[in-house]
């Protein structure tokens, strides 16, 4: 059973099942692939065919909130040439939230599949009339 997180349903959509603007699971999935800086996350989210164009300010606000709630952690990387950059990685709490998101999105997908199947069936009947 997942540990309780410090977030409320209004802030953490995985608890409430709200998938609108679901940037949190997209960030968690990217970080599950490996640590990344904000710019790399932004670029990965831009390549995501299913999502809307991410807003840079929203990405960093969400990362800050996710760090405060324990889903991600960050450290400054200074070993590369150029300016230091903040690198984020998923935490065990983040993995729990990613699991919950997978459940929520799976239920949503099943609901959408049922809806579209019902719509298609009714549309075929209507077209015969």
Q: Does the pLDDT value for residue 38 go beyond 50?
A: yes
DSSP characters for 35-76? -EEHHHHHHHHHH-TTSPPPPHHHHHHHHHHHHHTTSEEEEE
Domain presence at residue 64: yes
pLDDT attached to residue 18: 52
Has residue 7 been placed in a domain? Answer: no
Q: Give a yes or no: residue 108 inside a domain.
A: yes
CA distance 80 to 8: 37
Query: Could you report the per-residue pLDDT of 84-105, keeping only the tens digit for each?
Result: 999 999 999 999 999 999 999 9
Question: What CATH number does the domain containing 105 carry?
Answer: 1.10.10.10
Question: Does the pLDDT at position 113 exceed 70?
Answer: yes
Does residue 1 register a pLDDT over 50?
no
| Domain ranges, residue 46 | 20-128
Residue 13 domain-assigned? Answer: no
Is the confidence at residue 20, as pLDDT, over 60?
no
CA distance 1 to 113: 28
Question: What is the value of pTM for the model shown?
Answer: 0.76
User: What pLDDT is attached to residue 70?
Assistant: 97
């Amino acid at each position: 059973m997942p540990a309780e997180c410090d977030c409320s349903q209004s802030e953490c959509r995985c608890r409430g099942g709200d998938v609108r603007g679901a940037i949190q699971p997209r960030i968690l999935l990217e970080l599950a692939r490996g640590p990344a800086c904000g710019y790399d996350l932004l670029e990965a989210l831009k390549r995501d065919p299913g999502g809307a164009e991410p807003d840079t300010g929203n990405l960093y606000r969400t990362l800050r909130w996710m760090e405060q709630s324990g889903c991600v952690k960050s450290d400054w990387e200074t070993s590369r040439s150029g300016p230091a950059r903040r690198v984020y990685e998923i935490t065990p709490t983040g993995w729990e939230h990613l699991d919950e998101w997978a459940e929520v999105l799976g239920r949503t997908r099943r609901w959408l599949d049922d809806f579209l199947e019902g719509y298609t069936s009714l549309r075929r009947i209507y077209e015969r009339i």
